[in-house]
């Protein structure tokens, strides 16, 4: 079983068992929507990483996992830790593994906390000291204080664009997901889902991406705002 497949699902957080872990073919067939990068890049690059791993493009997978980790993807940080621990297409590096797992487990009530604690207990004092140094150098890029704040800002910017479309009763096609089946209507916005539907879907994903991070605020469904009474009845 590829160690990548031991990564937690976004909604579960616990490593997959041997019987439930996806095969390389399952991973290779993962569908990733490029348009999601404008809203939730951590989720998008995690998807690309799993797909790349299934295709046996291991260096590319590791690159995408690291990119996802820089956008506050805790599952990506967990996978990077497991890969370093098991020497998955790289030398075994237990201090690096602990640094990644500590980052994955930094949120309150994290489902990755037990994995991090177990590995920390198994390391030698020298290895733990090396892990502490690595963690100190990695936090400015991958820790929530930087990565989650940056990811939240990207999400808010994307949702603000959708809010402007919603105010006009608009529709939105996300690249990689909502391509009209009929090429003749590909340029017709009416063939795309309503903005409110896309907003609900994105906010559900965001709730998983930012789960446990105290800085995240759920956007929720967009509402049509009525014009002020004075504007409806001038004079």
User: From residue 115, how far is each of 54, 97, 112, 210 by CA, in Å?
Assistant: 24, 10, 6, 20
pLDDT for the residue numbered 199: 85
Q: By CB neighbour count within 10 A (0-12 exposed, 13-18 middle, 19+ buried), where does 160 fall?
A: exposed
Distance CA 156, CA 106 (A): 23
Provide the residue count of the chain. Answer: 235
Is the Cβ–Cβ distance between 181 and 161 less than 8 Å? no
Structure-model confidence comparison of residues 43 and 168, the more confident one: 43
pTM: 0.79
Is the Cβ–Cβ distance between 42 and 88 less than 8 Å? no
pLDDT for the residue numbered 29: 78
pLDDT of 57 higher than 60: yes
pLDDT of 188 higher than 60: no
């Amino acid at each position: 079983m590829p160690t990548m497949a031991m990564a937690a699902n976004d909604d579960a957080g616990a490593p997959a068992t041997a019987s439930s872990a996806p095969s390389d073919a399952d991973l290779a067939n993962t569908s990733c929507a490029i348009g999601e990068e404008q809203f939730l890049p951590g989720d998008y690059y995690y998807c690309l990483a799993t797909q790349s791993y299934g295709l046996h493009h291991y260096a590319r997978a590791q690159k995408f996992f690291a990119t996802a980790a820089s956008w506050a993807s805790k599952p990506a940080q967990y996978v990077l830790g497991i890969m370093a621990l098991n020497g998955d297409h790289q030398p075994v590096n237990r201090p690096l593994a602990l640094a990644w797992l500590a980052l994955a487990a930094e949120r309150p009530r994290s489902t990755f906390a037990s994995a991090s604690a177990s590995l920390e207990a198994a390391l030698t004092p020298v290895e733990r000291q090396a892990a502490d140094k690595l963690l100190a150098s990695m936090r400015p890029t991958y820790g929530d204080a930087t990565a989650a704040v940056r990811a939240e800002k990207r999400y808010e910017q994307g949702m603000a664009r959708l809010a402007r479309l919603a105010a006009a009763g608009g529709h939105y096609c996300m690249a990689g997901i909502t391509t009209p089946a009929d090429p003749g209507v590909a340029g017709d916005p009416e063939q795309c889902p309503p903005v409110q539907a896309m907003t609900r879907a994105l906010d559900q994903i965001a709730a998983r991406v930012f789960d446990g991070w105290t800085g995240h605020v759920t956007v929720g469904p967009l509402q049509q705002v009525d014009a002020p009474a004075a504007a409806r009845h001038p004079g």
